[in-house]
Structure formats: structure tokens, C-alpha cells
Amino acid sequence: MHDDRALVEARLKRVLDERIRPALYPESVPLEVAAWVAPGEPVPVAEGLSATHTPMTVGEAWGAPWATTWFKVRGDVPAAWAGRTVEAVLDLGFDERMPGFQCEALVYTPDGTPLKAINPRNQWVRVGAPVQGGERVEWHLEAASNPVILDVHPFLPTPLGDRETAGDTPQYRLARMDLAVFDTEVWELIQDLEVLGELMVELAVESPRRWELLRAVGRALDAVDLQDVNGTATAARAELREVLAAPAGASAHRISAVGHAHIDSAWLWPLRETVRKVARTTSNMTALLEDEPEFVFAMSQAQQYAWIKEHRPEVYAKVKKAVTDGRFVPAGGMWVESDTNMPGSEAMARQFVHGKRFFLEEFGVENDEAWLPDTFGFAAGLPQIIRSAGSKWLLTQKISWSQINAFPHHTFRWEGIDGTRIFTHFPPVDTYNCQMAGSEIAHAARNFKDKGAARHSLAPTGWGDGGGGTTREMIAKARRLRDLDGSPVVEWEKPADFFAKAEAEYPQAPVWVGELYLELHRATLTSQARTKRGNRRSEQLLREAELWSATAAATAGHPYPYADLDRIWKTVLLHQFHDILPGSSIAWVHREAERTYAEVAAELEGIIGSALTALAGHGGESLVVNSAPHSRAGIAAGAAGPAVAEGPEVAAEVRDGGGFLLSNGLLRIEIDDRGLVVSAHDIAADRETVAPGGAANLLQIHPDFPNMWDAWDVDAFYRNVVTDLTEADEVTLDEASTQAATVRVARSFGHSRVVQTLTLARGQRRLDIDTEVDWHETEKFLKAAFPLDIHAERYAAETQFGHLHRPTHTNTSWEAAKFEACAHRFVHVAEPGWGVALVNDATYGHDVSRTVRDDGDRGTTTTVRLSLLRAPRFPDPETDQGRHHFRYALAPGATIGDAVREGHRINLPERRITGARTVAPLVAVDNDAAVVTAVKLADDASGDVVVRLHEAHGGRARATLTTAFDLAGALTTDLLERPTTDGPTIEREGNTVRLALRPFQIVTLRLSRAGGDQRAQPAL
């Protein structure tokens, strides 16, 4: 037989596109259309319904960027259509290639009841099946004219990402507003042919099944009268019945389909638009659940449920009912699908605390899985956090985006820094927007790397990113793939059901140890520096607010601000979403974030000030407040009192030939006439920090134009060209006293200017560097380099509740790919017996490299560079323009414990207040390796004190915790403050609790206070 595959395949495509799909709506009549444009931001539904509308016609332009247009459409169903299925076809000017990334609308009945949403892949509203004929129909459309930011030619700078710069040119034209007869048989034929056509081309040419499908499709096309598709659709379907009924083979891969609509909480749209996207998507999904009994839909992000609860209670009522019915599944148990690299320890924990608690309180649902399909890599501390929150599984897809190394497993156990393992799945379908296309389903089976040992994978199914969700077409395809020869078996299942099956069948799943590093989107650790500084500052202020409020409540009867702290935490957690904190959203999002962080800081400062006043009273005594988890200046952790000067006094002198020498008896720092640190000598160890011939705090600038994903990516070739910023406008001794010496350095470069102050303080084993940058570069990358005279094959970078080690060499492609990585407060590089820490208060991105010097001793230089600023032009063409402030410090001779201490110190600077009395710590811990990350009152308002701590040095630690209050009881809890046996044995004696910690172990202690009613009065 001749090979006519190409002929039949081409015929199928053309007949579907030009004859069968157009026959879906064989008869139609136009609807009357009128419109009203809301002034400014979206208005309440009642206002949109009652506004005075102006008549419009199809073909007219509408929709300024980010505007809201209320359309009223109405018409009469022709009497001749009685007994037939009728739909409204509402095309606002959609481009079907981009659902979620352009205009969309929520459809209401005249009384304001939300019906469903329309978008490029969901343009219909069902009138009736069948209709009576003669019905009068009317709907109102709340249409958002969101501009297309990521167009067919992506990554072009655009002013459309902010309402303030987007202009008012209409973005769309009404394309179709009709009532139409819906031909169910033609629709079913379309699904039949699409499923078989897509499956057919995925099968091997040698496969008999491929030829069976080819011949059946050919016969079906022969049966279609191209001039009477509607009249011959049934005959065409009959030719396909046999091949559609052939069952799948016993060894077929099994796919759990989960309805899904990954909705970015902000990205190429602002937060306020996400609120409406969620309402539109959930309206469609609850309606689809009513129509399709097998369908299961999962949605993560408690914040998004909270939004519809607040803004669309009628939609939320449908969601709650569907959750109760077990069909709409709250997934993931996090407040948002956050970035996991940059959130601090406590913030990462609170993502689960607030997310899981919301699902428990609203739905009675306890999540066993973390659901993070689109997050840009996963920090090594996350497994323990997930387990400590009471969960045990993780799903993500994003690692399949890695550019260089293909991850070796799809199902495995992931081991974190403390040894905790969680069962993890990467869907081999390689998308979190699966459309049930044959190519996707076949790819999932072929791609699955655990064949032979396991046979289950998951497919998140539905349009995502901008929402939209699953469509009736996807469900129809899944129904045909439920048991079809040549295809994997597809079944709708809840995530928990999938994980239970997958874990049971794969008890010896392989283990991956350490971070799940994404070899892509590395620049998200640096882009939008103000957003990152706002996050870090908010995290530290929340720590202080909880600490001092709990101390004041427990010792001074001060009202504890439960509601305020809960609300502020949720605001900060929202802004850790994986396109906000990473700096990859439009200008509007980051402009709002900067304002929100300022408001958060002001409110938290008020809470802190009020609590400290309640503790210290009113008086003239000068007090230093220590919010850090380690003592300093003679003041205990979590205490306030008079500071005690420590160490020898500081001396400063001018060097011959220019520059300055600073010394405090611990360090001797030499700054040359260029303002560069050419020596940092550890006096006690008689050890030089700066590599011979090198200069530390060297600012370097690179060109930065990645191949794509501008705000997200930095490509390795950026390092090929570098300019050292060595020319100084000014190098002066700005301050010289016995307590501190400061050198001021000013530089100009390009269109920018930087002013740095380098300070050596009394008693401190670190050089503090304050950097102010007025940044006006384009597509440039600014780094601060520290070449260290250290021979090290690895370095330590802080992550949540501990640190991880990364290699300094590039022996393998896996190591070479990590040319930009994340650290929280410190990077530590060491030889046996001596090390150096570089600590910071606002940066995350960094790189570490090593070279062997071409000198007499062939010593090794290990260079640590902090990533300070970038200037990409997409999606925000003004990214990072303007003023920025960074603080970092070089700590020679630092152990890992010193790195932990100095990292907290720079992030929690001393506060100075006046008062009438000193403040004792509410709790004290006798071992610096046991670092307290939170002191607070229990969330249930019982008055119990909750203390969270972890072992921070990477070894075993014994610690004794002592309370300032009479201790009635102590127990270990999970992150949600529920009793657990999954923790260390504790011994209580009087007001002390003794415990032993394994490396990096997290422990949450719940401490009850003796005597009286322990319920702290909530602040009103």
C-alpha cells in the first residue's frame, strides 16, 4: 500500500479548519449591543449594571488599556429555533493564541448574578438546550481591556505595563455578538477527529494502530458532505466509532488529569486585575463542574480564595459548595505560590501557616501537598518546612525549563538540608497548562523518566498564567482518552489521590539531595531591587513587631495586635508571589509594591514603638534595643538596656601616597586612593583577607542583554565583558573617632553615581559598607566584588533555617550552570580554621568563582560578588531606575557561627530609645547555634508564647531556653502551633526547657504561662 499519510493528515487539517469547525454554529442572528466605560478603576457591579449605555456595533473599537467597559447585549431567540441548542457567541476581538493575556469578561444576568466568563478559548454562553423559541435574552459583560504585554514578538519594551504610561488608544474591536444554533453532533465530530488526528501522528509509523486511525479518519472525511456538514456529521462519526472504542493496552502509562488554571497573582497585570481573573475563572469552573460529573478542578493560593470571598461572595458561595462536594479542590496549602529562594525562614513558614489555616477554617481541608508548578527553583530548606507544616508531597513543573541539564527523575524523594525527605513529582507532560492535546499526552508517556519502576504521572489541565482554566473541549478529549488504544490512560483525579497511588507504587523512589536549582531565570534574584529591599525589611520588622508585642503582652499586659499582624503578614506573603518578589512583573505591580512596603513599614514601626514604650516606660535613660537572636554590646538577645563599649578604640591615619588605614585592634583595613579595599588584615590570626594584587569592594559593571526573558534571565556570556569602576570622584575620611572611622567614596559612571561609606567600628570584626546608587543605566549589571585569599572548593550560602554548600569549581555542567545563585544574609568561604563572611541586608543574587594565581606560591583566589542592580527593559522599561540603598559587610576570620551572627546583626540594627527601665528578654537561649526566628503569642489568642528556633551551624546542638514568666507547660508543635510528636524530646524544669537539636532542625515550642486567664487581650 502506498504511504499516503501526509495526504490524509493535510486533508484532515483543511477540512476541520475550513468546513467542520465553521459548521458548529450553522445559524445565527445578531444581538443588540450597548456599552458604558467605567471611569478610572473598576466599579461595583450594581453601578455597572445601572449605568447609561451607548449603542455599539460589531467592528467598533473599544477598550483603552486597563479600562473596564460594561457591555449590555440582548436579543430574541427566533421561534424557528424551538427545540434546538442555542448559545450566545461573544467575541470581544480575541486572539485565540493568547488566552489569559488580553481582554476577557465576566457575564452577569440582569439581576447581577455572575454566570460565566468569556475569553479567547471560551466565547460562548448557553441559552438553552433545547430552547422554546421566542425567548428574550439579556446579559451584562464586565469586560477588562487588558493590553497584550507579551506579544507574538516578545520582550519588546512597552509603556503598556502601567496605567500611568499606557495611554488611551483602544486595544480591541468587537468581532462577533450573536445568538447562534449550536450543533452538538458537529461539536462531537470535531473532538473525535482532533483526538484521533493528534494521537495518530504521535504513533510510530510502523505501528498498525497508526494506520488503523489513518484509514478511519479517511473514511470519516469521505462521509462528510462538505456542502452539508451538519447533515452528515453523524455518518462521519459512525466511521470513527470502532477505533475510538478500542481499549488501551495493559502497560499503558496512566495520567491523572487535574483541572487547573494557574493564575499568577500578579504578573503582566496588577493585583486588582487578578482579583477579577480569579472570579472569572472560578465562575467558569464551578459551572463546568455542574455539567461534567467526572471533572475535578484544583486551585491553589489561599489568597485567591480570600479575594473572591471578599469581592465576589456570590461566586465564592458556588466555590464553597463545590469544595464541599469534593469536586473543587483547594491545593497546595500556601498563601500564594511564592518564590521559594528569597523568602526568609519565618516568611516561608508563614506561607504554609496562613495558607493551610485558611483552607482548614473555610473548608475543613488539610493539604498534604505543596503545589508550586511555576516557581523558579526550590531552596534546600523547603522539605523540612513542608513537613513541619503537616504536609508530605510536592508538585512542580518548572524544573523542566532548565537550559542545560535535564533533571534525571520525574518522581523522587527530595532531601533537604536537615535530612527531611518529601515525595516529589515533576509532571512529564512538561506544562502546567495542558490542553489534553495528543502531542502533550504522548510526550508525557515518552518523557517519563521512571518507566519500569512507576507508571503514574499528573497533568494539570487548563489554560493558565492569566487564568481561564479547563474547557469543555479538554474534558471531551479526556473522556475519549479514558481508555483508548495507543494512548496513555487519562483519568480525572484529585492531587491527593494521584500522590497516594504514585507513592504506593514507588516505595524505593530515588533521592535527590539539596536545592532544586532552576537553570534559568537567575536574574530574578536581582531585578527590581526596591521590591527585594521592601520584602527583607518587612520580614525583619515583622519579627520585631511580634517579639516586642509578645514581650509587652506577657510582662506588661499590653494588648497584642493579633488582627493587625495577621493582616500585615498576609500582605507581605502576597508580595512574595513568584512574579512579584522576583521582579518579573509590569511596572504597575512594582510601583504599587513600593508604596505598600512603605505603608507596612510605617504600621509596623508604630506597633514596635507602642510595645517598646509599654516595656521601657517614659523616662530619660538612653537604651539600646537588641532585636537580634544574639547578644551584642552587652545587651542580651531580645532585651533593651544601656550599651557597653567593647574592644580597643578605633584609629585612622592617612597613608603616604593617598588612602587611609583604619584599625580597631581586631582588623586593620587599608583603603587606597581609589577608594578600594586593598587589605583587610585579621590581626589575631595574622591573616590577610584580600587576595594579593586584588582589591575588595570593587564595583564592576557588565552588559546585560539576555537572549530572552529580560527581567528573568542573565546569560553566562554577560561575564565576557566587564568594566571595573576604579575611578573615584572623591575619597575622604568622613568621620574619625575612637568609636568608629568612616571613609567616604564617590564615583561617577555612565549616567549614574554611587556614594559609599566604609566604616570600621569599635569592637567589631567587620567592615561595614553603605552604598547609595543613583542608577540610570540601561541593560547593565552592577556587581560588588571581593577577591579573597582563600583556597576553597565549596562555600556556604544561607537559606531558610540553615545554609547549603555549593562548589566554587565548574567540574560538571551541573556546577557550571550555577553561575548565579541565591543567598539570604550571608555567604561564607573558608579554609580549615579560618574563613570570611560577606553579609548583606537586601541582596540575594551572587556568584562565587575561583582562580589560581600566576605567582610564586600559586595561591587560590576565591572571588565572591554581590549582585546589586540590573536594568532590563521588559516587562518594565524603567526597571530599577533611580536611587537605591544597600548595606553589606566584610567579616574576616569569621566562622559559620560568626556569619550567622553578623547576618542577623546587619539585618536587625540596634534601635535607640529613651525610657525609664531596661527590658529583659521574654525568652533566653544559652547556645548561639540555636537561633530563634520567632517569638510571638499563639495565633489562637490563648496567651501561650510560641518560640520557633533552629540549629543554624550545621551540627548537633544542646540548648536550654529560659522564660521570664512562670512556665506552666511546654510542648513541641508543628508550624500551625498544633501538638506534634515529630520533634525533639524536651525536658522542662521550672522556667527552663532543655532540648537537643540535629543539624538545621526546626523546633516550634508552645509555652503556657502559669496563673490566671492567659488570654491576651487583642488590640482593637
Which residues are part of the catalytic machinery?
A: 374
Distance CA 594, CA 590 (A): 6
C-alpha cell at 859: 595561591
Q: Which residues contact 609 (CB under 8 A, 6 or more apart)?
A: none
The closest alpha carbon to 732, from 669, 675, 650, belongs to 675
DSSP states along 11-26: HHHHHIIIIIGGGGS-
Alpha helix (H) ranges present in 775-917? 813-816, 896-907
C-alpha cell at 102: 488580553
Q: Give the SS3 label for residue 6.
A: helix
> Taking the CA atoms of the chain, what radius of gyration do you get in angstroms?
31
C-alpha cell at 269: 497585570
> Residue 741 CA to chain centroid, in angstroms?
41
Name the residue with cell 430552547: 131
Q: Give the SS3 label for residue 917.
A: coil
C-alpha cell at 951: 540549629
Q: Say if CB 505 and CB 455 are below 8 A apart.
A: yes
3-class SS string, 24-51: HCCCEEECEEEEEECCCCCCCHHHHHHC
C-alpha cell at 377: 527553583
Q: Say if CB 536 and CB 344 are below 8 A apart.
A: yes
Please, is 505 exposed, middle or buried when counting C-beta atoms within 10 Å of its C-beta (0-12, 13-18, 19+)? middle
Q: Say if CB 707 and CB 787 are below 8 A apart.
A: no
Cis omega (within 30 of 0) on the bond before 130? yes
Helix or strand (DSSP H, E) at 837: strand 834-840
C-alpha cell at 259: 483541572
Q: Say if CB 711 and CB 873 are below 8 A apart.
A: no
Name the residue with cell 458604558: 36
Name the residue with cell 530515588: 510
Cis omega (within 30 of 0) on the bond before 875? yes
β-bridge partners, 890 = 767, 838
C-alpha cell at 749: 559612571
Distance CA 338, CA 711 (A): 17
Q: Say if CB 224 and CB 233 are below 8 A apart.
A: yes
